[in-house]
Chains A and B, each alone.
Chain A
Amino acid sequence: MCAWKYKRIMPKIAIAKLKLMEPKEIIDLAGMSLHHISSILEKTPYEAEISKIGTKELSANSLEDALLQNFIKTCEELMELSPKHIRLLLSTFLMKFEANCVKAILRAKQADLDVDEAMKYIMPVGRLGEARCRKTLEISEKVADVVESLSDMEYGSVLEKAFAVYEEEEIFYLLEIALDRHVYSKIWRAIGKLGGLDKKIARTVIGLEIDSANVKTILRCKAMEIRNYQIRRYLIPVSEVFGEKELEEVIRESDIQSFINSLVRLARNAMVRDYQYIFTEIQKQNVTSLTTLEKVLDRGLIETSLRMIKRYTPFFNIGLLLAFLNLKWFEVRNLRAIMRGSESGIPPNKIKEMLVLPR
């Protein structure tokens, strides 16, 4: 482990982490008006993005855009300061947002929206800046044209492969799944290039994120009574704890409880403590609601990130960076939930229940 390579990024993250909002500060925002929330957020790191929003344009959507832009900007700044392998991981991490941008373009074309209308749903990021997104929308008439116009990027070839299945089955989200699968596989490969402790921490934290997504997908498919062979198509089996074989095994479970029991058993067999903590908690709480389960899994992800800092030193490894990114992401998500809830007149208590905060 070479501590020197972290010399630029660690102080930056440490300061950025200190600037994160305290859970109490976030909770207190629930129930406030959007004007009030935006004036409070103007005193936080979101200031630059929020101050660009005019008074008339102030809405949950415009604030959400500001928060996401800030998150992406933060990731890009950290990427600049990161050592080589971490930079690669962060660049693949940012591909999640690029993939979201591609998905939004595809959706807009599928729904036959005009360019200006389509741009409302698109958050330009990275290589897909506003000009590129507009150009892609303008020159494409159909989804197939979008795939072709993205052929200079890796998304083009990914979509091309999935396009035949999409054409045959006429299921649009198969294209989206192909993009998600590509991005997560790439993130997983980038983790593989990390060394020593960084690799171990990243595999636990990001692996948990991917596995949580798979667990959520399986449970939702089970609730919708989707057949097992179909469920496999919606999964991203890249992780080592809940890999393809393991997921294949747990899919067969008929009810939610036996499914969780199987996950606990798998986590125990794989000797992954952090997985065991989360799934044992779910098992103990006897969670049957999918919404609660999603919340427990999301909270588990934050707590695992924080546990990584405690378990290993907070400095000179990727733990602090991943913990910060997760904390920042959930801060954005919580703020978005508060703003959307306030705009729709949801009672503060209900909003508070929706927040994902570490204990």
Chain B
Amino acid sequence: MSLELASIHPTRLELLRLRRRKSMAEGIVDILKRDLDALTLNLFELVKKIPPLRDKMYKTLREAYELFIEAEMISGSRKIEGVSLVAQPIDFKISEDKKKGVLGILFPILQLSEGNRVSGPRFNLLDTSANLDKSASKIKASFYDIVKLAEIEESVRILLEVMAIKKRQMNRIQFKILPQLNTAIRYIELILEETERQDAVRVRVLQRKRKERALKHA
């Protein structure tokens, strides 16, 4: 919405219309500011959840790795590697759902589930130690944290995108539309003032001429 000064009709009606538009634009900026505040608050809440979850995930993975090394120390690296080649795989499935969040934004909900629930052990128990079971179950547990983390990070990404759009909209109104409207309003006001001054001069000239004409007749 760009305003060309030349195309503006310097009329009172146009001035009123422009003033109305300006106040509406200022209202929109207010609403956008409030939206941005709400989004920022939500962003902080989401971001706050990330470090503890990430720490938990790292801790679980570290423990799983340590247990895996211990299993290798007990049973031998080659054997563990060989066993892992034929371990029954777990078919993980990730289902995606959406939930309405702040300002009606749709956030993803990622749900990790085991497609084929393995009812027995996943490998030969005689060839391995209990540490391998613990390691495998810890790695499995960390998958749930990883998916939760991905869900939060995706929500943060969506939130940041919406915030960027809102910010862009606000900047456009604040730094483009409002200055243009102000310029147009000022322009019309100046034209109208000029017209008023010209009218006043014309009235004074006419009054002077009328007085002179009256004196001549007298």
With contact pairs A104-B82, A223-B133, A230-B119 given, residues A340 and B73 touching in the complex (Cβ less than 8 Å): yes
Complex-state Cα separation, A121 to B70, whole angstroms: 19
Q: Write the B73-102 contact mask toward A (1 if CB under 8 angstroms, else 0).
A: 110111101110110100000000000000
Interface string of A92-121 (1 = CB under 8 A from B): 000000001001101110110100000011
Residue of A nearest to B70 (CB): A354
CA distance A205 to B79 in the complex (A): 25
A26 is an interface residue with CB less than 8 A from chain B: no
Instruction: With CB as the reference atom, state the residue of chain B lying closest to A293.
Output: B130
Chain B residues with Cβ under 8 A from A65's Cβ?
Answer: 78
| B79 contacts across to A, CB distance below 8 A | 100
Assess A234 versus B88: contact at CB under 8 Å? Given A64-B78, A177-B126: no
Total interface residues on A, using CB and 8 Å?
Answer: 50
A337 touching B82, Cβ below 8 Å: no
| Residues of chain A lying within 8 A (CB to CB) of residue B130 | 216, 219-220, 223, 290-291, 293-294
Residue from the list B121, B125, B127, B129 in contact with A291, Cβ < 8 A: B129
- B42-82 interface with A by 8 A CB criterion: 66, 69-70, 72-74, 76-79, 81-82
Cα A291 to Cα B120 with chains together (Å) = 20
Nearest chain-A residue to B131 (Cβ)? A291
Q: Is B124 close to A, CB under 8 A?
A: yes
Docked-complex contact B77 and A341, CB < 8 angstroms:
no
Inter-subunit contact B126/A180 (CB<8 Å): yes
Number of B residues contacting the other chain (C-beta, 8 Å)? 29
The residue that A107 contacts in the complex, of B66, B83, B131, with Cβ under 8 A, is B83
Chain B positions within 8 Å of A68 at CB level = 76
User: In the complex, A104 Cα to B81 Cα: how many Å?
Assistant: 10
With A171-B88, A220-B133, A340-B69 in contact, is A176–B120 under 8 Å at CB? no
Bound Cα distance A171, B83 (Å):
13
Residue of A nearest to B129 (CB): A294
Flag if B88 contacts A220 (CB, 8 Å). Answer: no
Q: Which residues of B contact A (CB under 8 A)?
A: 66, 69-70, 72-74, 76-79, 81-83, 85-86, 88, 119-121, 123-127, 129-131, 133-134
A-B contact list, 7 entries, CB within 8 Å: A61-B78, A107-B86, A123-B78, A221-B125, A224-B133, A234-B125, A340-B69
